[in-house]
Structure 1
Amino acid sequence: MEQVLLLHSSTDGQTIKILDYIKRELGQDCECTLQDLNSLPDIEWQKYDRVLIGAAVRYGHLSKKLYQFIEKNLQALEQHKVAFFCVNLTARKEGKNTPETSAYMKKFLVKSPWCPSLQAVFAGALRYPRYNLFDRTMIQFIMRITGGETDTSKEVEYTDWDAVARFAVAFKQF
């Protein structure tokens, strides 16, 4: 049975939801371990056949812990089968939802010393009722500027699950 490590840097849980979906898509022949990357875990890389890292963008940035993890584990990341995806609300728009067109993925690739050979970008979810007042106000402001949903009573999931399923297939064949 193949051993797969699923690492996440999630803010509101959509990245974990995407990883759970990928886990189901990988099927019974993969044993998956889910771990929070923000805790800067020590990874026993030799235990895993492949690793998938999912990270959420918040206020235009990926977590500093993600970059610390990459710095700490750069050699292992380059020597193992490790794929990466980022989750953001901008990816809800056509033309901003691929690694080649996502400003966040481009920024990641400039800032990070690691360039994953398998990458994806997925739209996240908007969960206004779950946010605290500050986050709700800031995200509403950002959505107003970018032409998105501003009704703070709504929850909207923008994730393209077909795209996630295609990425899961690519990851399994990776």
Structure 2
Amino acid sequence: MATIVYASVDGHTRKIAETIAGQLREAGAQVSLLPLADFDIEAFSRSGSRVSGPLIIGASIRYGVHCHKFDNWVIQHRAQLQSLGAVFFSVNLVARKAQKCSPDTNPYTRKFLQKTGWKPALAAVFAGRLNYPVYGFWDKLMIRFIMWMTGGPTDPAMDIEYTDWSAVAKFADASLAINANTSSIR
């Protein structure tokens, strides 16, 4: 069974996780999809679930960092994530720029992986969604300021989805392929 765990602020990371789940189901995999708060990695490790499908972890960036609970969770469970061959995707608006949409070129993902010491079996970065109408006053103000500084859109009525869905599909396929390769080695 493939397991997809996500940490989302405004719901777009969840949408990406749901899209990956749908693609894996179409490929014949059984999929468990749940928020990080509901995932028990200890039980998962004991169950042997890794043999039948990948463990995919996704999280979004806000103001340059993943939520601190996510960072701390990865640091706490880094050894398990390594041994399970977990894969990772990060979602952020900086990835809307072609030169910053890979784990090696995205400053937030590079910093996160360095900070946590985690070396996922596969990593990807997807551009997220800029949805000013759903942000509260302070978030809207701060995000507009950041966008102004980085040459992004600042119209408070804008709702733009930057996600490259074909890249998400390739990541889902690669996650299955990595799991198939590591399962045959065990």
Q: Same fold (TM over 0.5)?
A: yes
Deviations 1:129-164 (A, max 9, x none): 001111111101111111111111110000011111
Aligned to 1:4: 2
Q: What is the TM-score of this pair, normalised by structure 1?
A: 0.93
Counterpart-to-counterpart distance in 2, 1:71 and 1:135: 27
**Contact in 2 for aligned 1:129/1:154 (Cα 8 Å):** yes
Counterpart-to-counterpart distance in 2, 1:163 and 1:58: 21
Aligned to 2:173: 169
Aligned to 1:99: 103
Aligned to 2:183: none
Superposition CA RMSD, Å: 1.3
Aligned to 2:121: 117
Aligned to 1:47: 49
**Contact in 1 for aligned 2:78/2:116 (Cα 8 Å):** no
**Contact in 2 for aligned 1:40/1:65 (Cα 8 Å):** no
**Contact in 2 for aligned 1:125/1:156 (Cα 8 Å):** yes
Aligned to 1:25: 23
Counterpart-to-counterpart distance in 1, 2:71 and 2:168: 24
Aligned to 1:90: 94
Measured after TM superposition, the shift of residue 117 of structure 1 is: 2.2
Aligned to 1:36: 35
Letter in 2 for 1:56: S
Unaligned runs of 5+ in 1: none
Deviations 1:115-136 (A, max 9, x none): 1120000000001000111111
4+ residue stretches of structure 1 with deviation over 3 A?
Answer: none
SS at match of 2:30: strand
- Bigger proportion of residues as helix: 2
Measured after TM superposition, the shift of residue 42 of structure 1 is: 2.1
Measured after TM superposition, the shift of residue 40 of structure 1 is: 6.9
- Bigger proportion of residues as strand: 1
Letter in 2 for 1:42: D
Please say if 1:155 is aligned against 2:154.
Answer: no
Alignment of structure 1 residues 115-154 onto 2, 5 Å: 115-154=119-158
Aligned to 2:181: none
SS at match of 1:101: coil
Deviates more, 1:71-80 or 1:82-91: 71-80
**Contact in 2 for aligned 1:40/1:69 (Cα 8 Å):** no
Counterpart-to-counterpart distance in 1, 2:107 and 2:38: 25
Unaligned runs of 5+ in 2: 179-186
Counterpart-to-counterpart distance in 2, 1:54 and 1:11: 12
Counterpart-to-counterpart distance in 1, 2:103 and 2:118: 14
Measured after TM superposition, the shift of residue 25 of structure 1 is: 1.3
Counterpart-to-counterpart distance in 1, 2:85 and 2:113: 18
Letter in 2 for 1:36: P
The alignment covers a number of residue pairs equal to 171
